[in-house]
Chains A and B, each alone.
Chain A
């Protein structure tokens, strides 16, 4: 007898993707969008890792990130799960493999009733010195994101992109080069890439990045010398920041905070920067195309690689991915999961 279709035991609920028992009651959730009983968390971004769950299962790195963001009591109980270590809930075997998105980001591999489902969470395939690389796992159902699932998204080589900052710094040595980067993952990746590109001077960081940069460094990721960008008199341009690289969350760029920057050149590091008109809309002078999500070709190549019987799409631009998969003869469905914010990427 063939195994029952996995939609018998895993399905999207209003509270997020859930594995259910024979009675239809959830055994556990994945990245639940509201406080819940048992939740496996793929990675530490706020829309996936929410506080207030009873029991959180995640990689040790993700748990550390959640603790740094929400305090020690973000859940009643936590279970760290190392890469490839198996745990069992009900009749489901669970193990985690790297997703390459941010530090600690995991794909969740679920084996139950003769089928394998991989929940990839957010992922990317481009090299990233700050996290373990994505590992493809062959499966029956591959549940993927679709943040950049449009043929227009083809993310360039990260090191080439980052070197544009150094070129600009040589051209405008008096301007503070301020990079807007999401505080978990993107900021640390930008710093690590700058170091890789040979930039050795101290990098100035906004206060909101301090904790997470420290956490990355504690996990053995070398970010070089970091200085707070907060010294000096409030609201006054700081001459010491001229010609320096400053990193801040995107929201700070239009905030009063940015008044301390002398003649700032605004750079934004995001996958959305590929669309010039969108980059312009956000008031950026130098768009840097640097994404922590898979681009179009990488999404399709990954699906080829894991060769699933079915693809489920959690969130993003699912219509284009559905179309491309149907052209390839791959069965796909959109889950329309709500509550995962991809704009800050």
Chain B
């Protein structure tokens, strides 16, 4: 455990991905099985103790420290594992034993109940130093957040054992912690687990944003154009082992979408957009979000917010891998396949006939009116399905974001990388009180933004908060209403959850208007005009 905690610390402090990969592959090579496999499970987020939930860790901390002091500390540190690791009092006489190995932690926690889990973790914390305590708590609560994505970890595996990373990614759904089959293959002790005919994830092809200079080359002869739907990119794979739905990062999200993962009598792989609603009546992204947030949706939620797949590509059809075929031909097969499949929750993303780029630009601007379309996808007719972002093959052309000048109202410290800096901001627009439409306008909160500023701006904002706090509500600081910020957002909709009655989609800082007086910020009425019908 000590070495694993050190690895996590190294990963956290190493900015360069290549150096992270270096640390990881070194750790893989020098750690025996099954510790290596359990460490890998923790790194890719596939290990978590069933009982060691944040609430339990908090309860353990409360036996060691006053609840209010804990709350203030947690607010400052912004990370539960680290807060507890730091405040855990060193026992006066440290028991003469060393922290447990990864596999002994896993097996001890395996069938421990909540009380036993508390006792075990508590004992382990007593015999560990701060960094090991931190690593141990990260491990048991899952979600390491040390800046190494599952993909980086797989790249490190590829690097450590000299195998192509796609070969590792393809068999990922077939293996489980502690990944004995994987490491046996990586160490050339046995053949690779066979992915043929199985429902596994295939690396996605991604699009570049369209630049002005690319625009002129877009002609109907060479390019296919379709709407860029405002949903979530997914891959649906059907094989002998069932049907799985993968997110764009290759995570298995099948359990959240039963309507799409019933067994099919067709095998193959579809690429498409997951949307809420029904093919003839698409619902908003906010609706989809309710489903994305649920690992197991209730029957009621599935009725009120159904989902469907709008397919735009086919990678595999039965035994045929179509990825080396131009998209023009793949689309024909896709159309045929969907017709045969006749699935109530899968339909086709249509190709748009167009005359020139000028017309596309008009459509792009207009898709603001519908609200459910983010822009256009433009794909070279002869493009084969590569993994990743390939130059000059696929483009996305998004509608322009909306912007508004708003006043900062509240600030809160961020979490993770932003912890201990004020980086979460609630902002407001002017509005007249319902009863007195002619009275003085007041500021009403219209959204929250966490991003869009540079590190230097973050420091200035942080200093602004410290100097302009007028009231504290726990971790929240109320600010002097003086700072205007131009926020950009993709859409705005009506919402009953917010006092102002509106909710913005992905608001972020565009510019900080240190120069602009607060009274010149936008009025709620202006924002209302942009509401999607």
Contact = CB atoms under 8 A, between A and B. Distances in A.
B76 A152 contact: yes
Interface string B71-82: 011001111001
12 contacts: A150-B72, A151-B69, A152-B77, A152-B86, A153-B86, A275-B82, A276-B79, A277-B82, A280-B12, A281-B418, A323-B68, A338-B467
Contacts of A150: 72-73, 76
A152 B86 CA distance: 5
A287 B9 CA distance: 11
A154 interface: yes
A258 interface: no
B375 to A, nearest CB: 34
Question: Which 8 A-B pairs rank lowest in CB-CB distance, beginning with the nearest?
Answer: A152-B86, A277-B419, A320-B72, A151-B87, A278-B420, A152-B73, A150-B73, A323-B68
Contacts of A317: 72, 76
Interface SS of chain B: helix
B143 interface: no
Interface residues of A, number: 26
Interface string A272-312: 10111111110111110000000000000000000000000
B130 to A, nearest CB: 8
Given A276-B12, A285-B13, A319 B72 contact: yes
A279 B417 CA distance: 9
Interface in B48-100: 65-66, 68-70, 72-73, 76-79, 82-83, 86-87
B421 interface: yes
A300 to B, nearest CB: 11
B247 interface: no
B417 A281 contact: yes
B417 A277 contact: yes
Contacts of B134: 276
Interface residues on B, range: 20 to 34
B162 interface: no
A327 interface: yes
A267 to B, nearest CB: 11
Contacts of A324: 66, 69
A189 B67 CA distance: 36
Contacts of A272: 420
Q: Which of A274, A280, A283 is most buried by chain B, counting CB atoms within 10 A of its CB?
A: A280
A284 to B, nearest CB: 7
Nearest to B8: A276
Contact of B420 (A275, A286, A327): A275
B72 to A, nearest CB: 5
Contact of A286 (B13, B78, B472): B13
A83 B451 CA distance: 51
B9 A323 contact: no
B344 interface: no
A275 B419 contact: yes
B138 to A, nearest CB: 10
Interface string A168-179: 000000000000
